[in-house]
Every structure is written in C-alpha cells, then in structure tokens.
C-alpha cells in the first residue's frame, strides 16, 4: 500500500467526523440555540445551510470511502 492511499483513507475517516460536526451544529443552531440577539429565522436559515452542507459532505465521504476501502487497486486499472 502506498503512502498516498493511506493518507486518503485517513482523510476519508476524518471527513465522517466533520459530517457529524456540521449536522450537529446545524441542528443546534436551528432548534436549540435560543439565548442570542439574532432573529430566529436567521438561526433557522444558518442551521439549514449547515445541515445541507453536512449532507453534501456525507455524500462525498461515502463516495470516497467506497472508493478507498471497498475497491481494490486492480479495479482502477
């Protein structure tokens, strides 16, 4: 296994943690963050954007994990 593939695998695993972070922040902003001077609509919009970006990152992480962990190098050739 070459070092570049191992680094890509570590990055793919890190991306899963970032997915949980973005979706968690989005849910927190949209539903639980109450003590602020910001309008509730702005918080909902920001939370929605974080959730959508988290879902996009989840899709990209899924694609990269399938490619890096479940496909052999012979499939690429």
Task: Supply 4's token pair.
Answer: 């570049």
18 assigned to some structural domain: yes
pLDDT for residue 66 is more than 60? yes
Mean pLDDT of the chain: 89
Is residue 75 a part of any domain in this protein? no
Inter-residue contact 1 to 15 (CB < 8 Å) = no
Domain range for residue 21? 3-70
pTM summary value = 0.83
Question: Is residue 9 included in any domain, yes or no?
Answer: yes
Query: What span, in angstroms and rounded, lies between the C-alpha atoms of 61 and 45?
Result: 24
Domain count, the chain: 1
Q: How confident is the model at residue 36 (pLDDT cuts 50, 70, 90)?
A: confident
Residues 18 and 57 sit within 8 Å (Cβ to Cβ): yes
33 assigned to some structural domain:
yes
> What mean pLDDT comes out for the span 40-59?
95
């Amino acid at each position: 296994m070459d070092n570049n593939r191992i680094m890509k695998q570590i990055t793919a695993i890190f991306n899963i943690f970032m997915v949980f972070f973005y979706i968690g922040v989005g849910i927190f902003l949209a539903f639980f963050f109450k003590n602020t001077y910001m309008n509730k609509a702005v918080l909902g919009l920001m939370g929605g954007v974080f959730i959508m970006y988290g879902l996009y990152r989840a899709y990209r992480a899924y694609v990269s994990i399938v490619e890096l962990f479940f496909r052999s190098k012979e499939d690429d050739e």
